[in-house]
Structure 1
Amino acid sequence: MQHAVTEDGSKSGEVRALNDLTREWVEIGWRHTLEEPFDFRERLARFYDWSSGDTQFFDDFDPKRRVNTDVAQYAAIWDTRIPSMQSLTNVTVGNPHTLVSGGLAVTSVQFVTSYTTADGAVEQAQTLSSLVWRRSPEGWRIIREHGSGLAIRD
């Protein structure tokens, strides 16, 4: 059974919780500042399924555009790329959109990344990410991620 809203039109508690988790993943998990340096495991471990053999992760912000079937491989990309920057912050655009069906959920979320490169260049990137979450005894965990850059809106 697929459910995104309750009968009275309000969001179900599960959808609200996943939307909140997604905003935390975007805005807190993927942050790098001098005061809060980025470390994938420290920041993001609780969001991902580290033990499953059926995971897949891709983000075109990765210069090599690799498809990773292991979260540790995916983490290694960002543990190299993000700490080399002076800063990186994300702001969610609108609300995440989540559908829940049984033990799986799909979330679509847009966000704007603002970052400063090692040489001081200030840049922005807008991203659309699709996440597949699987319910586990520990809570919802990401098993699929696909992030694609969008044109910056004027």
Structure 2
Amino acid sequence: MQQAPSKAAPEDEDVRALNDLAREWVEIGWRHTSQEPFDFRGRLARFYDWSSEDTQFFDDFDTKRRVNTDVAQYAAIWDERIPSMQCLTNVTVDEPRTLVSGDLAVMSVQFVTSYTTADGVADQALTLSSLVWRRSPDGWRIIREHGSGLAAHAPSR
């Protein structure tokens, strides 16, 4: 007797889609090179919810440690800071850890950030971002973000 192929549960499909989005968000969205200069709205607009009033964003890579309640404020930080660097790239570490419940998802994603400052100082940092995504008619969008550096230097791979 032949069994019909099992269909993935909708939650599993959501987790896969969100994990793919997270890798793209980390590795492509947050990239700045001479060939691909950084512009927040141009790179990351489709990942964030720009219209909700219940958003919050924080990253300790921001030297002023600001908590932002809308994406435009958050974008302004990075549009000022990142383009002044020579380069910034990220590589995810393992799979994001994602939980989905209805139209909300929470995720932890770790990545290694490699960067070179305007002065030519190169460094790396291991980063953990905790994200809350909300499903919208346009797809999953980030409504909460908290990024923290875990170590001054990334571990050797």
The reply to whether TM is greater than 0.5 is yes
Identity of aligned residues (%): 80
Distance (Å, rounded) in 2 between the aligned partners of 1:51 and 1:84? 28
Q: Which runs of 5+ in 1 are unaligned?
A: 1-5
Question: What TM-score, normalized to structure 1?
Answer: 0.92
Distance (Å, rounded) in 2 between the aligned partners of 1:51 and 1:15? 24
For 1:91-143, what per-residue CA distance to the aligned partner results, in whole angstroms no more than 9, with x for missing partners? 00011011000010011000000000001110111100000000000000000
Correspondence for 1:3 = none
Q: Report the residue type matching 2:123 in the other structure.
A: E
Aligned residues: 148
Runs of at least 4 residues of structure 1 off by over 3 A?
Answer: 6-9
Q: Report the residue type matching 1:120 in the other structure.
A: G
What is the CA RMSD across the aligned residues, in angstroms?
A: 1.7
Deviation at 1:153, TM superposition (A): 2.8
Deviation at 1:12, TM superposition (A): 1.1
**Counterparts of residues 122-141 of structure 1 (less than 5 Å):** 122-141=122-141
Q: Report the residue type matching 1:98 in the other structure.
A: T
Q: 1:8 to 1:55 in 2, by over 3 A?
A: closer
Distance (Å, rounded) in 1 between the aligned partners of 2:63 and 2:76? 13
Q: Report the residue type matching 1:118 in the other structure.
A: A
Deviation at 1:13, TM superposition (A): 1.2
Correspondence for 2:155 = 153
SS in 1 for 2:23: helix
Q: Report the residue type matching 1:61 in the other structure.
A: F
